[in-house]
Amino acid sequence: MPPPVTIPVTISATTPIRPQPGILYIALYQGGASNIPGHGAPLKLSSNENPFGPSPGAVEAMAAAVLESNRYPSTDHGELRGAIADIHGLKAEQIICGAGSDEVIHWLNQAYAGPGDEVLYTQHGFGMYPIAALAAGAMPVQVAERDRVVDVDTLIEALTEDTRLIFIANPSNPCATMLASDEVERLADAVPDQCLLILDGAYVEFAQGHDGGKALVETRNNVVMTRTFSKVYGLGGLRVGYGYGPRHVIDTLNRIRGPFNLSGIALAGAEAAARDVDWVAECTRINADERARLVGGFRQLGIACDDSHANFVLARFADEATADAANAHLKSDGIIVRATKSYGLPHCLRVTVGRPEDNTRVLASLSAMVAT
Ligand SMILES: *Cc1c(COP(=O)(O)O)cnc(C)c1O
């Protein structure tokens, strides 16, 4: 059965025209807020964006590409795939680029899951997984985590003969926790042949020593990884992500991909960003120092949090009311963080790691609140 939500009256009462099954059960995605009434330029730490922006080389490449906007862009994204392959040691023919990894997540559902099929994702999993499953007419099935970490045994127990897709984000969002590589491998071993395991690596650059599961993709027929230019590359506004998978999957997804799904500006920007490895290294280094400072600072204030493997920290408060009060207090200081009620974590706030001076402001604001 679909999740128990009410179909909007405005749609059901006014017209006999009906969308495909499942679509009206989708709760609209709530993005991180970006303004506070009365605050001119708030500090936005709600969407896990890179506070330093994109690489200057990417900005230059995009500016140059603007002048070519009369031309249709590449349909096969050959240069961008080549750059990604070079940098990460991947096989270019096994890469598919989408308008953000969101688009890749949609294709996977559209191609492999439909009415009667189940799509597994975990308790505090990324909001796009159930949205994309429902959009394809499939049933999203949420599986419990263990202390905010993906639990392989519970996932294995939830497998049925109708399971077609399993999504895990590693590092996870919003928990910032990480499933160890041997556990990911144990999960991959347990996934039946007719089922795809998708490893969402949106934050993998921030997790030292992890590559998103490249070897699992290359040694199996049913593992796909997704990655994005939206996070450490500082290009969330450009909308470029990609999937890396077995050839049969990439071939299938290419059949439903729009031929011009990425603009010439997006292709140029992402390619230059991929090649600027120094920018990524520097941003990652600063992030690691700063998230440690945030985690330490939170704990000193009596706010619990797990070690973060990403570019954000999930702050856990005593209860929902305390989290709401902290959110209101930060807002009154011009700071926007992400409430995580929609992720089943009403007592938490997700705080993106900002520039050093931003993080100092966050800690000062919360410390003033705790003091009162
Ligand atoms: C941000 C994020 C993405 C990336 O989405 P894009 O469409 O590439 O911007 C994917 N998965 C998770 C878990 C994320 O947090």
pLDDT tens digit sequence for 312-364: 999 999 999 999 999 999 999 999 999 999 999 999 999 999 999 999 999 99
Whether the bond between 174 and the residue before it is cis, its omega within 30 degrees of 0, is: yes
3-state secondary structure 339-352: EEHHHCEEEEEEEE
Q: Which of 231, 350, 352 to mutate to test the pocket of ligand 1 (most atoms within 8 A of CB)?
A: 231
What is the percent of the chain with per-residue pLDDT over 70, rounded to a whole number? 96
Closest CA to 133 of 99, 163, 159, 155: 163
Neighbours of 87 (CB within 10 A): 13
Q: Which of 123, 200, 229, 342 to mutate to test the pocket of ligand 1 (most atoms within 8 A of CB)?
A: 200
The more confident residue out of 370 and 214 is 214
Q: How far is CA 193 from CA 65, 164, 213, in A?
A: 43, 10, 18
**Closest C-alpha residue for ligand 1 atom 3:** 202
Q: Does any ligand 1 atom lie closer than 6 A to the CB of residue 49?
A: no
What is d(CA 101, CA 166) in angstroms, rounded to the nearest whole number?
16
Q: Does any ligand 1 atom lie closer than 6 A to the CB of residue 100?
A: yes
pLDDT band at 13 (very low <50, low <70, confident <90, very high): low
* Per-residue DSSP letter, 241: E
Per-residue pLDDT tens over the stretch 113-170: 999 999 999 999 999 999 999 999 999 999 999 999 999 999 999 999 999 999 999 9
Nearest atom in ligand 1 to 125's CA: 13
Per-residue pLDDT tens over the stretch 173-224: 999 999 999 999 999 999 999 999 999 999 999 998 898 999 999 999 999 9
Residue 73 above 90 pLDDT? yes
What is d(CA 227, CA 29) in angstroms, rounded to the nearest whole number?
20
Closest CA to 311 of 193, 217, 204: 204
Backbone angles phi, psi at 209, to 5 degrees: 80, 5
Average pLDDT over the chain, rounded to whole? 94
Residue 4 above 60 pLDDT? no
- Give me the residue spans of the domains in the chain: 31-53+278-371, 56-275
Residue 1 above 90 pLDDT? no
What separation, in Å, do the N-terminal and C-terminal C-alpha atoms of the chain show?
48
Q: Does any ligand 1 atom lie closer than 6 A to the CB of residue 230?
A: yes
What is d(CA 178, CA 174) in angstroms, rounded to the nearest whole number?
11
What is d(CA 353, CA 173) in angstroms, rounded to the nearest whole number?
13
Lowest mean pLDDT among 29-43, 70-84, 216-230, 282-296: 29-43
Contacts 24+ apart (CB under 8 A), 340-344: 340/124, 340/174, 340/314, 342/27, 342/30, 342/127, 343/124, 343/127, 343/174, 344/123, 344/124
Q: Does any ligand 1 atom lie closer than 6 A to the CB of residue 279?
A: no
Q: Does any ligand 1 atom lie closer than 6 A to the CB of residue 234?
A: no
Q: Specify the CATH class of 31-53+278-371 in words.
A: alpha beta
Q: Does any ligand 1 atom lie closer than 6 A to the CB of residue 228?
A: yes
The helix (H) or strand (E) run that includes residue 45 is none
Reading the block at residue 22, the tokens are: 């499942």
- Which amino acid is present at 95? I
Residue 109 above 70 pLDDT? yes
Q: Does any ligand 1 atom lie closer than 6 A to the CB of residue 170?
A: no
Per-residue pLDDT tens over the stretch 274-309: 999 999 999 999 999 999 999 999 999 999 999 999
Q: How far is CA 169 from CA 106, 126, 236, 342, 365, in A?
A: 15, 7, 17, 17, 30
Q: How far is CA 145 from CA 81, 121, 155, 172, 222, in A?
A: 34, 10, 9, 11, 23
Nearest atom in ligand 1 to 99's CA: 7
Residue 227 above 70 pLDDT? yes
Q: Same topology for domains 31-53+278-371 and 56-275, yes or no?
A: no
Per-residue pLDDT tens over the stretch 258-282: 999 999 999 999 999 999 999 999 9
Q: Does any ligand 1 atom lie closer than 6 A to the CB of residue 127?
A: no
Nearest atom in ligand 1 to 230's CA: 9
Could you write out the DSSP letters of every residue in 170-203?
A: SS-TTT-----HHHHHHHHHHS-TTSEEEEE-TT
Q: Specify the CATH class of 56-275 in words.
A: alpha beta
Ligand 1 center from residue 50 Cα (angstroms): 13
